[in-house]
Structure 1
Amino acid sequence: MSIKDLNILAPVRKHWRQILIILAIYTTWSVAVFLFLIGLQGPETTIKQFGGSQAVYFNFGHAIIKGTIVYYILIYHLALPLVQTRKWKRALLKCILFLILLTVYEYCWHFKKIDPAIGENVHISPHTFLVTTVILDVIMVMVSIYFATLITSNEVHRRKEELEKQKLQAELSAIRYQINPHFLFNSLSFIYTKTLKTSPEAAHAVHLLSEIMSYALDDWGELGTVPLTLEVDHMKKVIEMNQIRFNHMLKIKYQEHVEESEMHVPTLALVTLVENAFKHGDLNDEQNQVSFELNATKNRISFKVSNKKKKGPKEPSKGIGLSNVQQRLQLMYGAKQSFVIEEDENYYSNEIIINL
Structure 2
Amino acid sequence: MSNHIFFWIAYTLYFFLSGFITTPEKFTQIHHIFQNVIISVLEIIACFYLLLYRIFPETLPTKKYQLLFFSLITLAVICSVGNAFVIYFYRAIIHEKFNFYRSCTVGLNNLYLSIHFALAYWFATNFIQNVREQSKAELQKNMLEKSILEAELSSLKNQINPHFLYNSLNFLYAQALPMSKKLSDSVMLLAEMMRYTVKENNNEGKVSLIKEIQYIKNYVAIQQIQFDGKLNVELEIIGNIHYRRIHPLTISPLIENTFKNGVLNDIQCPVSIWIETQANNLFLTITYKRKIGISEKYIFDDLMDVRRRLYIGYFNNHFIKFEHTDCNQKIFLKLSL
Per the shorter chain, which TM-score range? Answer: 0.5 to 0.7
Q: Distance in 2 between matches of 1:180 and 1:59?
A: 77
Query: For residues 233-312 of structure 1, what are the structure 2 equivalents within 5 Å?
Result: 233-311=214-292
Local SS of the residue matching 1:348: strand
Deviation for aligned residue 1:217 = 2.2
Deviation for aligned residue 1:172 = 1.1
Deviation for aligned residue 1:290 = 0.4
Q: Where does residue 118 of structure 2 map in the other structure?
A: none
Q: Where does residue 170 of structure 1 map in the other structure?
A: 151
Q: Deviations over 1:160-184 (max 9, x none)?
A: 7655543331221132245544443
Q: Distance in 2 between matches of 1:155 and 1:202?
A: 53
The answer to whether the 8 A contact 1:266-1:329 is kept is no
Q: Distance in 1 between matches of 2:149 and 2:135?
A: 21
Q: Where does residue 187 of structure 1 map in the other structure?
A: 168
What CA RMSD, in Å, does the superposition of the two structures yield over aligned residues?
Answer: 5.0
Query: For residues 63-82 of structure 1, what are the structure 2 equivalents within 5 Å?
Result: 66=49, 70=53
Q: Does structure 1 residue 325 correspond to structure 2 residue 278?
A: no
Local SS of the residue matching 2:253: helix
Higher relative contact order (CA 8 A, sep 6+): 1
Deviation for aligned residue 1:332 = 3.9
Q: Distance in 2 between matches of 1:318 and 1:353?
A: 19
Deviation for aligned residue 1:58 = 6.4
Q: Deviations over 1:316-347 (max 9, x none)?
A: 97867632332333344443320111123301
Q: Where does residue 208 of structure 1 map in the other structure?
A: 189
Query: Gaps spanning 5+ residues in structure 2: where?
Result: 5-17, 20-34, 59-77, 91-102, 108-121
Larger deviation, residues 284-293 vs 316-325: 316-325
Percent identity, aligned pairs only? 25
Q: Where does residue 24 of structure 2 map in the other structure?
A: none
The answer to whether the 8 A contact 2:196-2:211 is kept is no
The answer to whether the 8 A contact 1:340-1:351 is kept is yes
Query: For residues 44-123 of structure 1, what are the structure 2 equivalents within 5 Å?
Result: 53-54=37-38, 66=49, 70=53
Local SS of the residue matching 2:182: helix
The answer to whether the 8 A contact 1:257-1:294 is kept is yes
TM-score (norm 1): 0.56
Local SS of the residue matching 1:262: coil
Q: Deviations over 1:204-230 (max 9, x none)?
A: 101111221221223635653222111
Query: For residues 22-33 of structure 1, what are the structure 2 equivalents within 5 Å?
Result: none
Q: Does structure 1 residue 336 correspond to structure 2 residue 323?
A: no
Which protein is bigger by CA-based radius of gyration? 2
Deviation for aligned residue 1:241 = 1.1
The answer to whether the 8 A contact 1:159-1:331 is kept is no
In structure 2, what residue type is equivalent to 1:189? N
Q: Distance in 2 between matches of 1:286 and 1:68?
A: 66
Q: Where does residue 92 of structure 1 map in the other structure?
A: none
Q: Distance in 1 between matches of 2:216 and 2:104?
A: 69
Query: Gaps spanning 5+ residues in structure 1: where?
Result: 1-18, 27-42, 45-50, 76-105, 125-139
Q: Distance in 2 between matches of 1:201 and 1:149?
A: 62
Local SS of the residue matching 1:206: helix
TM-score (norm 2): 0.59
Q: Provide closer, same or farther for how the CA distance between residues 56 and 182 of structure 1 changes in structure 2, counting only shifts above 3 A.
A: farther
Local SS of the residue matching 2:165: helix
